[in-house]
Structure 1
Amino acid sequence: MNGTVLYDPAGLIEAGLPFDRAPYEALVAAVLAWQAPGLPPCDYAQIAVQLTGHVRAVAADVQRRVARLPPDSGRRFLAEAVLGETERRLAARLEATAACAMDRARLVRVLYERLDRLT
């Protein structure tokens, strides 16, 4: 396997890349529409891991945009509240359950809503 490891502690490379939202919005819609899907636990775990990674990426983008707002901005206050709740919920251990995957899907949806309000 050939590859290059990049050192980017400030996240500047990631900040310049736009999200491909459509696949994640489709996944979120599908997950939130579940009515007792009956998937094997490994599928729930994989979906939760995928959504968790995307939650972290979108939260980082929201944080970068929040940093540009004035300290007394109402939009900043709301975004910081959403980011705080996101961190609290991400601290919970991942479980191979529909409920966990649905929780991560809700986080993606809320973060995209906040991101759109900051754009």
Structure 2
Amino acid sequence: MNTYHVQHVHDGRPAAALPPDRALHDQAVRTVLSWSAPHDAAADEIAQAGLLLTGAARVVADTVRTRAARLPEDDGRRLFAELILHEADTSLTRPCTNLHQVQGRARLIRALYERLDRLDAATETATTAP
């Protein structure tokens, strides 16, 4: 018996229907960054963490992309978001199979969330300004 549900998103963008699960992502990032040597986790755990963090990075990057698009093209916050998104896009094309790569993916997620927080603050400021 399956205990999971598949959600179909018509436009193919998971972030459009599901916001990032920040608590889960933070927990995974902290766990992966706490591993100091490859023997701290089994090879299959490292590989599984790589898959989880890759999926998380894609969802957060998509959310950052959507929020950045709401800002004017000449806004510096949008420029910085586009820079981190370029870095994310480049990073996400590479495999994530060893501890060093998985920890790099965890750091990427932290950077994406930092940018997302700044974009959210910019959006809030813009909507509350007179």
TM-score normalised by the shorter chain: which range applies? 0.7 to 0.9
TM-score (norm 1): 0.86
**In 1: Cα distance, 2:107 partner to 2:101 partner:** 10
The one-letter amino acid of 1:49's match is L
**Match for 2:66 among 64, 67, 74?**
64
Deviations 1:41-61 (A, max 9, x none): 111110000000000000000
Contact 2:72 2:78 survives alignment (8 Å): yes
Residue in structure 2 matched with residue 110 of structure 1 by the alignment: 111
Residue in structure 2 matched with residue 92 of structure 1 by the alignment: 94
**In 2: Cα distance, 1:45 partner to 1:94 partner:** 7
**In 2: Cα distance, 1:111 partner to 1:16 partner:** 19
Give aligned pairs, total. 117
**In 2: Cα distance, 1:17 partner to 1:68 partner:** 19
Deviations 1:15-41 (A, max 9, x none): 243332112112111211221151221
Q: Compared with structure 1, are the counterparts of its residues 7 and 30 closer, same or farther at alpha carbon in structure 2 (3 Å cutoff)? A: closer
Contact 2:9 2:17 survives alignment (8 Å): no
**In 2: Cα distance, 1:28 partner to 1:21 partner:** 10
**In 2: Cα distance, 1:19 partner to 1:65 partner:** 13
Q: Compared with structure 1, are the counterparts of its residues 113 and 5 closer, same or farther at alpha carbon in structure 2 (3 Å cutoff)? A: closer
> SS in structure 1 opposite 2:47?
helix
TM-score (norm 2): 0.80
Residue in structure 1 matched with residue 77 of structure 2 by the alignment: 75
Question: Could you say what the CA RMSD is over the residues aligned between the two structures, in angstroms?
Answer: 2.1
The answer on 1:26 being equivalent to 2:23 is no
**Unmatched 5+ stretches in structure 2:** 121-130
